[in-house]
Structure 1
């Protein structure tokens, strides 16, 4: 019987499960939108919402910060949680996350979902009739300057490198097959 079972074990032992939830919550607060399996998303939701509720506390802010830092080990994420997300949800009494169901995963058929924080909705780019981005929404694309000589790996693949006077590198002579002495064994 399944009476009073409060959480899913997710096929993990307790320390692994808590580490999984901590990592998922850290990623959610950092990126504000993550893609995971549906069962992990359903377990993450109450865990993350309790941390956001702690971040909203005004009465004992230092103690609340220490309680959250016990669960979220990345201090930049804790700072963002208290400064940005706590202020964003100050008037909301709960329900800070949304779970959007996706289709099954291609490899194993697991149900996938997107967990996102409310107020950070995905805004798709608007396109005109021809399918191109509009002028107002084009982002300038910064092109990275390529090094003058190219990468050493690219030179090696082309056969360039330390060979002098335009000579190509010679490969070392191949060892004779069937030689047991080269393998370190005596016959």
Structure 2
């Protein structure tokens, strides 16, 4: 009798072992998880993952390959229509073996083998990740240049605003100085006004004296 290629021998011979693993795989794909001995779970795991790999292909040839191992058509149908789409993006590792202790009676180590059907997001390839990283690195300096140009424009605008404010301040100072000069001139004007008044008073007094002199001479002429 030939010896199995992996692990300990199951059953009485190779044919018995093949049937046992086929029945365990049928139960696993039907219920999603089963409890068996740790030895059988470890021997079932590579066979079940190989059947899932065939199911992910989805063609007729893969279905026929699975049918040579699993004779139950309902289990094969569930494998191809329900299980395979759930593990489409998972690259291997479709089953999980969890130890549950020892069995009463013969103290055999027991384990639970179950399918891993959690959704997995497809990871980007190394080339795409590298290209996206280079694009991001190229975008960062461009953004810095744009920000620098914007800052330079803002600085120029601020300088122009400062120059306009300084010009306005100079014009305001000149206007204030002109107003101050006009005020000084207005303040000096009253000082000149009394001098003109004095000259006018002197002229009036001279006219009065001339009239008085003319009046004094007139009676003398009449007496003569």
TM-score (structure 2 length as normaliser): 0.49
- Tell me the secondary structure at the aligned position of residue 68 of structure 2: helix
| In structure 1, distance between residues paired with 2:12 and 2:91 | 32
- Counterpart CA distance in 2 for 1:57 and 1:101 is 31
Q: Note if 1:102 corresponds to 2:103.
A: no
Please say which structure displays the higher CA radius of gyration: 2
Distance in 2 (CA, whole Å) between partners of 1:35 and 1:26 is: 13
Distance 1:57 1:8 in 2: 31
Deviation of 1:11 after TM superposition, in Å, equals 4.5
- What corresponds to 1:91 in structure 2? 89
Distance in 2 (alpha carbons) for counterparts of 1:11 and 1:62: 32
Report the CA distance between 1:107 and its aligned residue: 1.1
Q: Which of the two has greater helix per residue?
A: 2
* Count of matched residue positions in the alignment of Structure 1 and Structure 2: 115
Structure 1 residue runs of 4 or more that deviate by more than 2 Å after TM superposition: 5-8
Does 1:63 pair with 2:61?
Answer: yes
Higher relative contact order (CA 8 A, sep 6+): 1
User: Could you give the per-residue CA deviations for residues 95-144 of structure 1, whole angstroms, max 9, x where no partner exists?
Assistant: 00000101110010000000000127xxxxxxxxxxxxxxxxxxxxxxxx
What is the TM-score when the length of structure 1 is the normalising length? 0.59
The equivalent residue for 1:26 is 26
Structure 2 unaligned blocks of 5 or more: 119-224
SS in 2 for 1:56: helix
Let me know the Cα RMSD of the aligned residues: 1.6
Contiguous gaps of at least 5 residues in structure 1: 121-187
Partner of 2:77: 79
SS of residue in 1 equivalent to 2:57 = coil
